């Protein structure tokens, strides 16, 4: 895309190129949402943008799921269960104040799976109370939130990212700081 600048003297026209290739990408499909989430400075800038758009729940959910998955094997059943139930309550539960936008069938599947981990009277994870009573539930499956995560990534990629890539925040905190190469899709 070329932009021409016209001076007040109609006989002189100067042309400057203002194109995305100079910035390292042609369109948002060149940007890798997973690399953006992994790169702290880009992720924080994307979060700032999403907060301004009132759509930060998708990004926060993905980050929390990835953090939970990264400790899944190392931590106790009780800790993994507590984190999973907190994620569920914060983003998926019917009473959530920051719900993610997922299809009802996906919601129903996760709700049904998580039900044994929740105590219906006081929302205390039943896995913890069962451990106290000598019973032991298995850790929640590491994959229980996978479809929800994919849905949130799709929303980020198709809805949030195009506006973010056009924003002043992206220009100032990603392009001008030379971070575009770190977030491009490979080959």
DSSP secondary structure, 143-178, as one string: TTTHHHHHHHHHHIIIIIHHHHHTSHHHIIIIITTT
* pLDDT for 186: 84
pLDDT, mean of residues 38-52: 97
Q: Is 54 left (phi over 0), alpha (psi -120 to 50) or beta?
A: left
Average pLDDT, the chain: 83
**Element of type H or E holding 45:** helix 40-52
pLDDT, mean of residues 92-113: 96
* pLDDT for 136: 55
Q: What is the CATH number of domain 31-183?
A: 1.10.167.10
What does the domain layout of the chain look like in residue ranges?
A: 31-183
* pLDDT for 89: 97
Total count of residues recorded for the chain: 187
pLDDT at 127 over 60: no
| Token pair 């770190």: residue | 182
Q: How does residue 37 score in pLDDT terms, banded at 50, 70 and 90?
A: very high
Bigger pLDDT: 134 vs 157: 157
| Token pair 């953006």: residue | 36
pLDDT, mean of residues 79-90: 96
Are 117 and 127 in contact by the 8 Å Cβ rule? The answer is yes
CA atoms within 13 A on the CB side of 3: 5
Closest listed residue to residue 28, CA positions, set 172, 162, 179: 162
pLDDT at 60 over 70: yes
Q: How does residue 88 score in pLDDT terms, banded at 50, 70 and 90?
A: very high
The predicted model scores a pTM of 0.79
pLDDT at 123 over 50: no
How much of the chain, in percent, has pLDDT values that exceed 70? Answer: 76
pLDDT at 99 over 60: yes
How much of the chain, in percent, has pLDDT values that exceed 90? Answer: 71
User: What token pair was written down for 140?
Assistant: 């929640």
């Amino acid at each position: 895309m070329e932009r021409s600048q016209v001076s007040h003297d109609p006989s002189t026209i100067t042309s400057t190129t203002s194109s995305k290739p100079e910035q390292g990408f042609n369109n948002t499909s060149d940007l890798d949402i997973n690399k953006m989430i992994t790169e702290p400075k880009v992720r924080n800038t994307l979060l700032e943008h999403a907060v301004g758009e009132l759509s930060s729940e998708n990004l926060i959910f993905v980050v929390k799921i990835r953090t939970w998955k990264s400790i899944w094997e190392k931590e106790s059943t009780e800790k993994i269960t507590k984190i999973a139930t907190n994620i569920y309550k914060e983003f998926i539960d019917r009473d959530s104040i920051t719900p993610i936008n997922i299809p009802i069938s996906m919601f129903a599947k996760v709700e049904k799976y998580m039900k044994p981990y929740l105590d219906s009277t006081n929302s205390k994870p039943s896995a913890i109370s069962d451990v106290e009573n000598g019973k032991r539930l298995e850790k929640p499956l590491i994959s229980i939130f996978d479809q929800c995560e994919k849905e949130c990534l799709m929303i980020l990629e198709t809805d949030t990212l195009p506006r973010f890539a056009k924003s002043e925040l992206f220009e100032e905190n990603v392009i001008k700081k030379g971070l575009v190469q770190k977030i491009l899709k490979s080959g």
